């Protein structure tokens, strides 16, 4: 089974995140892997969530435990991806040697996109409907989950979107609203059931909530600390996430 094209491109463009898999394999926990990689615990989990969302199957499996007490290991798919990365490292060395001068590498760097959106969900286009100047794109995320994106017709044409095509839905954490069981979703918005995996609250600041969707993908949301405390949100809590289709940005392989 081949790797999804978007994950393959991510391996080439963001090798430091793939290298984190090696630290997980060696250390057996996210906390120790983050320390070995020289990054924060939060940054390590952001990287792993992104990789798991782009892969056909989770690359890292986490056991239960507190912030520093849980273990982690690579899945069979994670071990396969790590092996591929190591092979790509050798190939990369050959490519760098063949570049005529540094301007070649500068050009490649400008052509490769990095995004500030915390959430990246891979999906397949299963519906495309014209609505005035916009197109409503229905995305199948797998596992019975579906979301919609509302983009301009020009964007649809520029990205060459078509039924069956694979895309990545980009969504900033601040655009994801959490709902409890008593709150009614806004009409026309995407609404998905989720389970809280982790809650991080900084002093005098909003809380960051990491959530697991039913298909194995994850989302990150920002919520007021008072809202989280009032509802006693903690790992294992069941919530819903809501975001308007116009907040969903789409990206495709280049």
pLDDT category, 138, cuts 50, 70, 90?
A: very high
Q: Note the pTM of the prediction, 2 decimals.
A: 0.63
- pLDDT at position 68 is 47
Contacts (Cβ under 8 Å, ≥6 apart) of 13? 112, 114
User: Does an H or E element contain 78, and which?
Assistant: helix 76-98
Q: How does pLDDT run across 30-89, given as a tens digit for each residue?
A: 889 988 888 888 888 888 888 888 787 888 887 765 454 458 889 988 888 888 777 766
Q: Is the dihedral of CA 98, 100, 102, 107 positive or negative?
A: negative
Q: How does pLDDT run across 103-123, given as a tens digit for each residue?
A: 555 555 444 455 667 898 989
C-alpha distance from residue 89 to each of 80, 94, 95, 108, 179 (Å): 14, 9, 10, 17, 44
Closest CA to 79 of 44, 102, 55, 96: 55
């Amino acid at each position: 089974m081949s790797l999804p094209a978007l994950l393959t491109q991510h391996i080439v463009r963001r090798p430091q995140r793939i290298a984190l898999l090696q630290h997980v394999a060696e250390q057996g926990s996210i906390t120790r892997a983050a320390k070995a990689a020289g990054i924060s615990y939060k940054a390590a989990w952001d990287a792993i969530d992104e990789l798991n969302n782009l892969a056909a199957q989770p690359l890292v499996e986490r056991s239960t435990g507190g912030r520093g007490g849980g273990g982690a290991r690579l899945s069979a798919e994670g071990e396969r991806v790590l092996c591929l990365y190591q092979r790509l490292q050798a190939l990369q060395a050959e490519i760098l040697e063949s570049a005529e001068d540094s301007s070649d590498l500068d050009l490649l760097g400008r052509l490769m996109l990095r995004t500030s959106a915390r959430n990246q969900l891979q999906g397949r286009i299963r519906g495309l409907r014209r609505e005035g100047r916009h197109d409503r794109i229905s995305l199948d995320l797998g596992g019975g989950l579906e979301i919609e994106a509302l983009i301009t017709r020009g964007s649809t044409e520029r990205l060459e979107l078509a039924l069956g095509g694979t895309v990545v839905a980009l969504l900033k954490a601040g655009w994801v609203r959490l709902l409890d069981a008593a709150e009614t979703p806004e009409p026309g918005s995407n609404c998905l059931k989720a389970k809280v995996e982790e809650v991080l609250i900084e002093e005098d600041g909003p809380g960051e909530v990491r959530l697991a969707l039913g298909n194995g993908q994850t989302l990150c949301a920002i919520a007021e600390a008072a809202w989280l405390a009032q509802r006693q949100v903690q790992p294992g809590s069941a919530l819903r996430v809501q975001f308007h289709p116009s907040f969903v940005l789409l990206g495709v392989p280049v």
